[in-house]
Chains A and B, each alone.
Chain A
């Protein structure tokens, strides 16, 4: 039986690189992504020279600047990052891989199903991924996602002499055999657990308790871990022992994007008009095929450079332009600076029209009939005032007794 192997594709500092564009030379200087406009004032990804000053991602801007006064702040570009990362994922998917990716810069796929089309073994799959991505990506392969990520972190474009990855089939690639995963992880620091968002706080606690390596975590009894740390503890234990949850590959997106260049730096009512137009355009797109919209993303490019993006999930999928506009409108107020262009992208479609709820809901009619019968029975037993309801008459009145009255509850409530 062929064992499961997960491949991790890693681009360190992807968001910073994408935001730098053709100013990549800045990576050799202390640089960091500036805080996103209107969000918490913490720095994003940082360059290696900035790390040498003790600046790390998520550090408050003031502290980062005091640790490294020469720090260059790069305006974040969430739109650019998303677009570039989608290109990477598209290339990977073109090799036949089903790709999981929760954040830009790291993607995972299972190699098993691809052996047949790429030379019959893992090395063929890795070579195909390398051809698709070019030399900049780090590749790691291991029996689980966490170990594959750790392997990719150790991969270097230039292999170090005498490195543990001496058996790597390709440059910039580290492969961990099925039975070696636990041994490979054992000497690595517990800080590696931070790569999982749900375990952000755990490494610090481990370190305070004197537990410094994943091997020491793996040796702890599961009952004690469950009692002391709950679910995160058990997850950390599984990861340290070379086990992980299954991949959840993304569904290939159907890109439906509309963008409008604004003639001059727009805000307020002009933006609302632009949004109205974008909603109409998106609803008119043929790719919609009669489906309602479930998830939408509003994005903007600022006059002063940089981009902004926010997502909105509708409670009910809808194709009603007024309803969509009402849901998206308040987000425009969050725009932190004048925009030179506004975009609207469909992130998820709802069900097709024939899957929507029926206009005549029999269950509701049955419920109303039962409620009416219950009211009649209560009146029969306890008198005419047994079932009353509060009716707002003049809720804003300054005279309290004019605001509401108690009215008889109707025998057959209105639908």
Chain B
């Protein structure tokens, strides 16, 4: 729940991610992935009609940036998020 008159911090933003055959990101935007530092799955609200299932990746890109992206396993699509 968001308190009235406030807005969420760290809301996910849609991202363009190229993934390989196993679903692991190979590039974010036009920048290739150098290393996958960590990978984890978050599941929540599975008891409601709007369950949340995400597969997160913490990546190091070849330009040195450290980014966190996730694949929405319910609705599909990739997002970038400050984790």
- The 0/1 profile, CB within 8 Å of B marked 1, for residues 379-415 of chain A is 0000000000011010000111111111110000000
| CB of B60, distance to nearest CB on chain A (Å) | 19
A407 to B7, CA, bound (A): 7
Asked if B49 is an interface residue, CB under 8 A from chain A, the answer is: no
Given contacts A400-B81, A400-B82, contact A405 B42 (CB under 8 A): no
Pick the contact of B3: A398, A401, A403, A407 (CB < 8 A): A407
Q: How many residues of A contact B (CB 8 A)?
A: 14
A377 to chain B, nearest CB (A): 20
The answer to whether B9 and A390 touch across the interface, beta carbons within 8 angstroms, is yes
Shortest Cβ distance from A386 into chain B, in angstroms?
A: 14
Total A-B pairs, Cβ < 8 A:
41
Alpha-carbon separation in the docked complex, A390 to B6 (Å): 10
| Minimum C-beta distance from B75 to chain A (A) | 15
Q: Which of A393, A401, A407 has the most CB of B within 10 A?
A: A401
- The one of A399, A402, A408 that contacts B5, using a Cβ cutoff of 8 Å: A408
For the complex, what is the distance from the CA of A405 to the CA of B11, rounded to whole Å? Answer: 10
Q: Are A401 and B10 in contact (CB under 8 A)?
A: yes
A401 to B68, CA, bound (A): 13
Is B20 an interface residue when CB atoms closer than 8 A count as contact?
A: no
Judge whether A406 and B9 touch: CB under 8 Å.
yes
Chain B interface size, as a band, is 10 to 19
Contact check, B7 vs A405: say whether CB atoms are below 8 A apart. yes
Given A401-B9, A406-B9, are A391 and B3 neighbors across the interface (CB < 8 Å)?
Answer: yes
| Inter-chain contact B6/A400, CB cutoff 8 Å | no
Contact with B along A294-316 (1 / 0, CB 8 A): 00000000000000000000000
Please provide the chain A residues from 281 to 300 with a CB less than 8 Å away from any CB of chain B in the complex: none
CB distance from A163 to the nearest CB of B (A): 73
Rounded to whole Å, the gap between the CB of A408 and the closest CB of chain B is 5
Which chain B residue has the least Cβ–Cβ distance from A394?
Answer: B1
Whole-angstrom distance between the alpha carbons of A399 and B1 in the complex?
Answer: 13
B38: Cβ under 8 A from any A Cβ? no
Give the residues in chain A near B82, CB-CB below 8 Å.
400
Q: State how many angstroms separate the Cβ of A403 from the closest Cβ of chain B.
A: 7
Give the docked Cα–Cα distance between A408 and B82 (Å). 22
* Residue of B with least CB distance to A385: B7
User: By the criterion CB–CB under 8 Å, are A401 and B6 in contact?
Assistant: no
Point out the residues of chain A lying under 8 angstroms from B81, CB to CB. 400-401
Interface string of A97-140 (1 = CB under 8 A from B): 00000000000000000000000000000000000000000000
> Are A401 and B7 touching (Cβ within 8 A)?
no
Whether B44 and A400, one on each chain, are in contact in the complex, defined by CB atoms closer than 8 angstroms, is: no
- Using a CB–CB distance below 8 Å, which chain A residues touch chain B? 390-391, 393, 398-408
B residues sitting closer than 8 Å to A (CB atoms) are 2-3, 5-12, 42, 44, 52, 81-83
Q: List 16 A-B contacts (CB under 8 A).
A: A391-B3, A391-B6, A398-B44, A399-B42, A400-B12, A400-B81, A401-B8, A401-B9, A401-B10, A402-B8, A404-B9, A404-B10, A405-B2, A405-B8, A405-B9, A406-B8
- The 10 A-B pairs at the shortest CB distance, nearest first, are namely A407-B6, A405-B6, A400-B10, A404-B9, A401-B11, A401-B8, A401-B10, A400-B83, A398-B42, A406-B7
